[in-house]
Amino acid sequence: MEAASSSIIDRGRPMTIVVVIWILYSALVFTVGPWQEVANWKNKNNDAFAFDTRGGYSHADAIKSLRAYGTTGQKIYARHLIFDAFYLLLQTIAVSWLFLFTVRRLYGYKTRLQWFATIPILVGLLDLVEDAAIAVMLSTDPSAVPKWATGVAATVTSIKLLCLIGLPAILLASVIGLLVLRINAQSKRGRLSGSGGLT
């Protein structure tokens, strides 16, 4: 039987706090934060689109979208990227930690399933590269935006969107795992209570 781990990864309380902060911050940013301003601005301009939710666009498409945003829209989008960076950090830590905590409790501290926790980390790194390229685009006059910036942003966004498919699966597996742990704990308490009553 494996010895209990003293790692912070295996402590439920700090993990729960981080997950709750991530959920609350997400609700704030995507409902009343800068992202809502970007969405409203995009809806008013048919040629504008969110660079971090659409991959595979061309350099010409990016230029057209930047011109549709205008100076004011570009500043709003740039402000969103600052909040997005903190969101990415929270998401990466919260989802990876939740998954690691669950699988290590279920299958031990040496299980190879832990490697799936690298998916949120990969998504976070891709998102940071994407945001950096978008920041270059937003801080440059549309007529002078370098092709490498739009190329990197469009390509990385496409890869990121594919990797994002794994996040719901990891979250679902974590929630199911936590439910299994809870059921097992209640069953164990029931057995102990029953055996105590017989003595």
CA dihedral 101, 107, 110, 111 (to 10 degrees): -100
Torsion-angle region of 58 (φ positive above 0: left; ψ -120 to 50: alpha; else: beta): beta
Q: pLDDT at residue 63 above 80?
A: yes
Residue carrying the six token digits 């992202």: 35
The 10s digit of each residue's pLDDT in 142-194 is: 989 999 999 999 999 998 888 877 777 887 788 888 888 778 777 776 666 66
The 10s digit of each residue's pLDDT in 8-53 is: 777 888 888 999 999 999 888 877 777 777 877 777 777 888 898 8
Residue 163 CA to residue 50 CA, distance in Å, equals: 18
142: Cα within 13 Å, side-chain hemisphere: 15
Residue 153 CA to residue 159 CA, distance in Å, equals: 10
**What is the b/e burial string over 5-29, where b = at least 16 CB atoms within 10 angstroms of the residue's CB?**
eeeebeeeeebeebbeebeebbeeb
pLDDT of residue 144: 92
pLDDT of residue 21: 94
Query: How far is it between the farthest Cα atoms of the chain?
Result: 84
Q: Name the 3-class secondary structure at 94.
A: helix
- Overall pTM > 0.85: no
Q: pLDDT at residue 59 above 80?
A: yes
pLDDT of residue 148: 95
126: Cα within 13 Å, side-chain hemisphere: 20
* Mean pLDDT of the region 95-100: 89
- Residue 69 near residue 77 (C-beta atoms within 8 A): yes
CA dihedral 18, 20, 24, 29 (to 10 degrees): 40
